[in-house]
Amino acid sequence: MPVYNGELYVREAIESMLNQTFTDFELLVLDDGSTDRTEEIVLSFNDSRIRYHRNASNIGIANNLNIGLAKARGEYIARFDGDDVSLPDRLQVQINFLDTHPDVGLCSTAMQLFGKHSEVWIREHHPEAIKITMLFYSPVLHASSMFRRRLFLDHELTYRQEAFPAEDYELWSRAVKVCKLVNLPDVLYNYRIHDTQVPKTDRKATECIRKIQLEYLASSVPTLPSASVAGFFEQFVDKTPQTTDDVRVMKQQIDTLIQANKQAGFFDNRLLKTKLNRVLAGKVFHFVVSTHHFTWYLLSKLRFRQLVKLVHVINN
């Protein structure tokens, strides 16, 4: 559990972990040089399962997490943030899943957001779907993840500080080449939204995420030319079509990747084709609705439900 100046929430976070139905664990609290009452609050707990480590100075979240990886002694490592709440059955459910699925290296759970926002985050469950989602955004909810310690260390799957604030995304993009990743649909984690969190939408974060995506696609489908790797993101993922020609270029990017993947075999080609065409359909639908360009070519890219919705929009 990494924490930095967490005096407002760290007590509640620790209490939620100590109240787990699964009790055979160590709680590594990794204090990244807090200057508030964090240390005092952590040390006020009289529980032998808590191990407290304090850095002399702030070294950054990824470096701090790597200290935890090195110090951990358990079979599994469960991530947990010092401002969140783990529901009582969280550890037991994840341990049961990993114990009964030895081919899976990591599982995370769905999250309930609370604080400034309230919604539920659920990610793709199937490992093959997760590999495809990795092309668009981080497919694993980091704070609720649990993974096999030995597996990650044996394959040098540690965090990279230079990837901050997307250090988790970067790690998953390498881990997925080594093991299966699974997201459980159970909501077992309460994720707090507050003003002091690090944003992941600034320029640095955007550039970092794009670098991760480019490297992930290039290494996953080495048969795809470098120009097509860049084109997939620039002309498809980022693109909002303004003309029918834009849509044709986007479709070409999809077809190029699918064809290259037939040789590489990294992605399930059926799932890849379905996912990419769904994304294209969503972009085309908004284009058609906003421009009233009802050409056969554009309509052929829509899914049945979108066609029905489009008829409703036109009639109203």
Confidence of residue 246 (pLDDT cuts 50, 70, 90): very high
Q: Which amino acid is located at 102 in the chain?
A: P
- Give pLDDT tens digits for 194-216: 877 666 668 889 999 999 999 99
- Give pLDDT tens digits for 140-154: 999 999 999 999 999
Please tell me the number of Cα atoms within 13 Å of 280 on its side-chain side. Answer: 26
pLDDT over 90 at 312, yes or no: no
* Residues in a beta bridge with 111: 121, 189
Q: Which amino acid is located at 246 in the chain?
A: D
Q: What is the pLDDT averaged over residues 259-265?
A: 96
- Give pLDDT tens digits for 99-137: 999 999 999 999 999 988 899 999 999 999 999 999 999
* Residues in a beta bridge with 193: 115
**pLDDT value for 198:** 62
Q: Where are the beta strands (DSSP E) in the chain?
A: 2-3, 27-31, 50-54, 76-78, 85-86, 104-115, 120-121, 146-148, 180-193
- Rounded to the nearest integer, the mean pLDDT of the chain is 95
Query: Higher-confidence residue: 91 or 313?
Result: 91
Measured CA to CA, the distance from residue 254 to residue 6 in angstroms comes to: 45
Q: Where are the chain's structural domains?
A: 2-193, 221-315
* Residues in a beta bridge with 146: 78, 107
Kindly report the CATH number that applies to the domain delimited by 2-193: 3.90.550.10
Q: Name residue, tokens 């310690």.
A: 149
Residue 164 main-chain phi, psi, to 5 deg? -60, 135
Q: What is the pLDDT averaged over residues 158-174?
A: 97
Measured CA to CA, the distance from residue 122 to residue 183 in angstroms comes to: 8
Tokens encoding 195: 């003003």
Query: Higher-confidence residue: 309 or 72?
Result: 72
Question: Is the preceding omega at residue 165 within 30 degrees of 0, hence cis?
Answer: yes
Measured CA to CA, the distance from residue 299 to residue 281 in angstroms comes to: 9
Q: Which residues of 57-70 are buried (b: 16+ CB within 10 A; e: fewer)?
A: eeebbbbbbbbbbe
